[in-house]
């Protein structure tokens, strides 16, 4: 049973949608957590977050201004930290295409700095957040996150005698997160027209709370080197538009540079070292010799089973789908509690 009381936890990108939900969950479940450190660049977002999670009301809270690119500041912030949850990233696909090395500095060099800071400070556990775009990437953002994933997995080979586990969680689009499609469509519906990139486009869907629970699972269960992938439903982008505004015109605008028609999370090449659990898939390291551990050890640890050779997992071939009604329920639950179908009509 996971117990984070008396633990010190640092969350990079802690003012983001995931970070706030993760911190709220920790404060609710573990009232005796020793320290919760929010590490991020934006002082305004930290100020706003302090209105909800003030150090006066929650003595464990700490707010550090810093960038994951700044190795010295990051190392200082990680002093006496037990667990790092790495959620900081540049993740807007078009911005990454236009500003490629800025994305590399944050997502790749920042990952290296996290690993170095963890090793220098005797951190026990690191969980890094990834994305479905890191599987067979076609854009720079996905490529940087794949590189980041590789760094965290490989770091388990060079940790020496340290009591340190580093793992990755990879999931799809978070419903209602900043910059995601549902808030975008909710804002656009007043115009009577919703832009659709491609009529057949699909995506995976996960709630913030499910993402948090997945990270908690990784903190509790990881051996080191795993990439955890949740079993998620898919949705069609046209169904999202219909759920948000059935009377709006859906205008096809074309796939943006660096976008896929369907998102992948496990490629056939990953199948050789992927195991299946009840709620997750786990991609195990493909070079286990340095750790003195075998694929069977992972299978036994998780009581899982190996997937068939050639297995793949993508949003277009999924077996579970969200209907229009399912999507409306999720909008009410996760995005706008006042959302009503009766409000969707658009004046002619």
- As annotated, the active-site residues are 133
Spatial distance between the Cα atoms of 202 and 183, rounded to a whole number of angstroms:
17
């Amino acid at each position: 049973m996971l117990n984070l009381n008396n633990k010190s936890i640092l969350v990079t990108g802690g003012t983001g949608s995931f970070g706030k939900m993760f911190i709220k969950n920790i404060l609710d479940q573990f009232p005796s957590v020793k320290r919760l450190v929010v590490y991020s660049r934006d002082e305004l977002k930290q100020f706003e977050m302090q209105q909800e999670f003030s150090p006066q009301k929650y003595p464990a809270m700490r707010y550090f201004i810093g960038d994951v690119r700044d190795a010295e500041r990051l190392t200082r912030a990680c002093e006496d930290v037990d667990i790092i949850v790495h959620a900081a990233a540049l993740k807007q696909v078009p911005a990454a295409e236009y500003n490629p090395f800025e994305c590399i500095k944050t997502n790749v060099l920042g990952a290296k700095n996290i690993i170095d800071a963890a090793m220098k400070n005797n951190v026990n556990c690191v969980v890094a957040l990834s994305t479905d775009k890191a599987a067979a990437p076609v854009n720079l953002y996905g490529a940087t996150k794949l590189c980041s994933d590789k760094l965290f997995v490989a770091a388990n080979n060079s940790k020496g005698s340290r009591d340190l586990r580093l793992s990755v969680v990879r999931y799809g689009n978070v419903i209602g997160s900043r910059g995601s499609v549902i808030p975008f469509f909710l804002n656009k519906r007043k115009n009577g027209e919703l832009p659709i990139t491609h009529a057949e486009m699909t995506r995976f869907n996960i709630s913030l709370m499910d993402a948090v629970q997945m990270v908690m699972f990784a903190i509790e269960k990881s051996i080191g080197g795993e990439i955890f992938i949740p079993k998620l439903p898919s949705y069609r982008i046209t169904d999202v538009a219909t759920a948000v505004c059935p009377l709006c015109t859906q205008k096809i605008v074309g796939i943006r540079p660096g976008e896929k028609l369907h998102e992948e999370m496990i490629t056939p090449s990953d199948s050789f070292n992927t195991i299946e659990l009840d709620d997750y898939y786990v991609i195990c390291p493909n070079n286990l010799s340095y750790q003195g551990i075998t694929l069977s050890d992972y299978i036994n640890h998780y009581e899982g089973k190996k997937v068939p050779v050639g297995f793949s997992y993508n949003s277009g071939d999924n077996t579970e789908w969200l209907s229009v009604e399912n999507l409306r329920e999720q909008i009410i639950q996760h995005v706008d509690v006042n959302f009503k179908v009766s409000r969707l009509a658009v004046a002619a």
